[in-house]
Amino acid sequence: MATFREFLRYKELSAKDKTFSPRMKEIMHIMRQHHVAQGMTPQKAVAVLEALGPTYVKIGQLASNRSDILPKDYCEALEKLHDNVSPMGFDEVLACIDKSYGHSYREVFAEIDPVPLGAASIAQVHKAKLLDGTVVAVKVRRPGVVEQMADDVAMMKRLLALGDFATTAHKDIILNLGGFVDELERTTADEVDFTIELNNLLRFRKELKTQPGVTCPVPYPQFSTDAVLVEEYVTGTEISDVAALKQQGVDVKALSKQLIQSYVTQVLDNGFFHADPHSGNLIVRGKQLVWIDLGMVGTLSGSERMLVNRMFRSVAFNNAYELMEAVLGLCSANGPVDEGLLLAKMDHLLAEYGQADMANINIGEAFQEVIEVLRRQSLIMSPSVTMLARGFVTLEGLLTEIAPDTSVIDVVSQHVMKQLFDPRYVGEKATTFMYNSAEAVGSAARLPTQLSHALAMLTRGQVSVKGNLTVPEDALATVYVAAGRLSLAVMAAGLFLGSAILCTTDMAPKLLGVPFLGVLGFVGAFVLSLYVLWKTLRTRHRYVNGQSLE
């Protein structure tokens, strides 16, 4: 069976010979009906997407996560979109399963409940029983949905090429629509291919093993295809049903903290998180918290995860410059950036939240405020980070229902502080320090040669310097003192690194099993470090008391 991208490629090639397909004409008609050319509002955007059908409803739901591209009022309006679609007939469901398997469904299932558990624009879910009696949930993709969504994405690309349907006030949205449609293409390709969700389940279940009392449904790869997904049928109580949970003896406050800790671990430790943590996707089964529906997940690359960790640490330590550096690393510029203004905005946000009670800080709203500041600075965050922001907003909305006095930022701060003493984090910092020290030693070693070359070029007339610079004697003295201390510090670092390397060899003689020369190097590095520290403190004392630096 052809994939979504193969169908999309076919549609794009076909569009070169046909200016308007029937679907294009239908889209144009709906846009004229809603007077799109006269301007767009959030309410009109919702009406247009609903009129265009279930595929565009799904696109609107995905678009609600892109608060870095769309204004906040658009995102809030698009969040209200729902898949109001009629379920497929049971015979059609069975036909889809048979076609996907290439044989009768009876070779896999003993029975399938004809009444669906849920129906959406892409698929619907039925309860079933395997031949061995195991109760499972079967997710079946609607027939023709791959072709339809490929057609719709191709039409969106075609519309962007044909013209601009926005007023001047919305030019900032239109400028980013090309990249936005590309992102929708990638996301849609994942949505319609159930092998992606199957792999999400396998990975998610593996990573949740480190979290006691937290799990997700058991997937059945042997019975799953790109159009049929078979997984464990989960029974239990929806997490938002507080009355039922209390009746079962569940500590709701402890459960809410377990939920936050699970989400923070997914984000900061694993870089792989559930992107839609609403109440319908969280089931309490006995003493277990079960995450379901892994169709939409977020993935942070190694560098993105480090930057998100750095961002949270900067908030915990109230460091505006560190926050700005982390945020810039997570963004791509779509125009000129005023870093001075950006730093001032970050400092203002930290000051505002620093004065608030920790329990009253809404991390989702804070995330959204940062994204809004970035959008005004022509900065676009990566889709995974905006998805993370939306996930925190959804999670905090859920916590408001079940445990209003539980603070997400409190758990995040504790997790960040705990990370500082984690052996993996300490090891990473030590490696970074060693690398930077080695670079500093290398740079210091190259400095005399570079100076020699520069002076040779100067004497040959290849470099000329003009100017009249007068430097006060006290400033020169300060420079000499600083240069001397820096040289000693570099020498100490070099001795330390050289000794560490020597200690890995079998060089004789040895002292207590360690090469004697390496021991001397460590002692020398230690003495030099103490000397530099003492001289620095002494110089500071002299400076404070108005005395000469030397």
The pLDDT of residue 40: 81
What is the SS3 assignment for 235? coil
Q: How confident is the model at residue 148 (pLDDT cuts 50, 70, 90)?
A: confident
The pLDDT of residue 459: 65
What's the rounded mean pLDDT across residues 379-398?
82
- Amino acid sitting at position 181: V
380: left (phi over 0), alpha (psi -120 to 50) or beta: beta
Q: Is the pLDDT of residue 292 over 80?
A: yes
The pLDDT of residue 12: 53
Q: Is the pLDDT of residue 429 over 90?
A: no
What's the rounded mean pLDDT across residues 378-393?
81
Q: How confident is the model at residue 289 (pLDDT cuts 50, 70, 90)?
A: very high
CA 54, 60, 63, 67: dihedral to nearest 10 degrees?
-160
Q: Is the pLDDT of residue 357 over 70?
A: no
The pLDDT of residue 168: 41
Highest-confidence range of 157-166, 273-282, 399-408, by mean pLDDT? 273-282
Higher-pLDDT residue of 167 and 45 is: 45
What's the rounded mean pLDDT across residues 458-476?
57
Q: Is the pLDDT of residue 174 over 60?
A: no
Mean pLDDT of the residues in the chain: 77
Global confidence as pTM: 0.66
Distance in angstroms (rounded) separating the CA atoms of residues 276 and 61:
11
Distance in angstroms (rounded) separating the CA atoms of residues 386 and 392:
10
Higher-pLDDT residue of 429 and 48 is: 48
Distance in angstroms (rounded) separating the CA atoms of residues 384 and 183:
11
Residue 181 burial class via C-beta count within 10 angstroms: exposed 0-12, middle 13-18, buried 19 and up: middle
Q: Is the pLDDT of residue 62 over 90?
A: no
Q: Is the pLDDT of residue 410 over 70?
A: yes
Lowest mean pLDDT among 23-37, 103-117, 389-403, 453-467: 453-467
pLDDT, tens digit (0-9, with 9 covering 90-100), for 484-525:
667 677 777 777 777 777 677 777 777 767 777 777 777 777
Whose tokens are 């199957």? That residue is 198
Most distant CA pair in the chain, distance: 94
The pLDDT of residue 218: 96
The pLDDT of residue 437: 58
pLDDT > 70 fraction of the chain, expressed in percent and rounded: 70
What's the rounded mean pLDDT across residues 125-151?
92
- Amino acid sitting at position 373: V
Higher-pLDDT residue of 131 and 52 is: 131
Contact 230, 221 (CB under 8 A): no
The pLDDT of residue 528: 76
Q: How confident is the model at residue 171 (pLDDT cuts 50, 70, 90)?
A: very low
Q: Is the pLDDT of residue 173 over 60?
A: no
Alpha carbon of residue 397 to chain centroid: 19
Distance in angstroms (rounded) separating the CA atoms of residues 94 and 210:
38
Higher-pLDDT residue of 181 and 73 is: 73
Residues in the chain: 550
Q: How confident is the model at residue 407 (pLDDT cuts 50, 70, 90)?
A: confident
The pLDDT of residue 453: 64
Q: Is the pLDDT of residue 251 over 60?
A: yes
The pLDDT of residue 546: 60
Q: What tokens appear for 179 in the block?
A: 């990249």
Q: Would you list the DSSP string of 312-368?
A: HHHHHTT-HHHHHHHHHHTEEESS---HHHHHHHHHHHHHHHHTS-GGG--HHHHHH
The pLDDT of residue 375: 72
Contact 343, 320 (CB under 8 A): yes
Q: Is the pLDDT of residue 107 over 60?
A: yes
Contact 67, 371 (CB under 8 A): yes
Checking 287-290 for CB contacts under 8 A at 24+ apart, the result is 287/213, 288/213, 288/214, 288/215, 288/236, 289/213, 289/214, 289/215, 289/239, 289/255, 289/258, 289/259, 289/262, 290/214, 290/215, 290/216, 290/217, 290/234, 290/236
CA 46, 48, 52, 58: dihedral to nearest 10 degrees?
-20
Q: Is the pLDDT of residue 183 over 90?
A: no
Neighbours of 528 (CB within 10 A): 19
pLDDT, tens digit (0-9, with 9 covering 90-100), for 15-46:
544 444 677 778 788 888 888 878 788 888 88
The pLDDT of residue 202: 96
Q: What tokens appear for 166 in the block?
A: 């926005």
